[in-house]
Amino acid sequence: MTLLRLGTRGSQLALAQARLVADRLEAAAPGLAVELVTIATAGDRDQATPLAAGERPGWFTTAIQEALQRGEVDIAVHSLKDLPTRRPQGLVIAAVPLREDPRDALVSRTGAPLRSLPPGAVVGTGSPRREAQLRELRPDLDIRPIRGNVETRIRKVREGEYDAAVVALAGLRRLGLEAEAAEIFGFEELLPAPGQGALAVECRADDARARGLLARIDDPAVRLAVTAERSFLAAIEGGCSFPAAAYAEHFGTTLKLHALVASGGRIVRSKMGGPAETAPGLGRQLAEELLQRAGLR
């Protein structure tokens, strides 16, 4: 029996995601046993600071990556949208094994969709990306920061602290809570964060055993799509700091990338298609177009 130690955050969602990866690995490599090792990150320890104010690159990932670098775990599973585009030395994303539905969802106290919430309704989100798009859809809402895991956010809505909250549909599905969604937003309403719904599995670059095992569960089509999204984000982060969203659709050998940036109270959107193998360049090119149109270049 070969043992592989998998580093993960300790939330119910993180553990559910880690088990999905562990199950795939054990199915792909008979005789392999995957042990989950929970690691607390800065974002787990600080449950008070609003995400928009306190979040910094690696808030939910750095502690796990450092444990991986020290050899305390063999692989690490992250929500891909949490991974900074600047890569840590000595680590590689060796597998992007699966992607759940990347759309956003609304959880509301009364079960009402966004359009039916009363004027001034309190809607919780810790994401500037979601806030910018919500304000475009419903400028009359009172949008406030919210912290906590998926279950905590739902509880805060049920107890009346918020009238509604926006969460990732992927998280609801992986926790078996999809029935809590009062509305699932289309991409034209709320474009998701780059990599939303996808999982990333890291290992040390010099660990041939782990890289070989992870290659068995990598999904090339998903990897190409999120590569386009993350290259867009990397180009945006290179010169500015403001809400951005991106989602790539895979059509055989072609990718279509949808993206937006929000700056100065307005949202600029665009889309671009190209051969799938040009995913990195596609993301950079669309970022440059949007930055120019937003007057940021």
The residues that are catalytic are 82
The type of residue at 214 is L
Q: In this structure, what are the phi and psi dihedrals at residue 267, rounded to the nearest 5 degrees?
A: -115, 130
Instruction: Give the separation between CA 174 and CA 188, rounded to whole angstroms.
Output: 24
* Six token digits for residue 45: 């320890």
Q: Quick one: residue 10, left, alpha or beta (phi over 0 = left, psi -120 to 50 = alpha)?
A: alpha
Instruction: Give the separation between CA 177 and CA 171, rounded to whole angstroms.
Output: 8
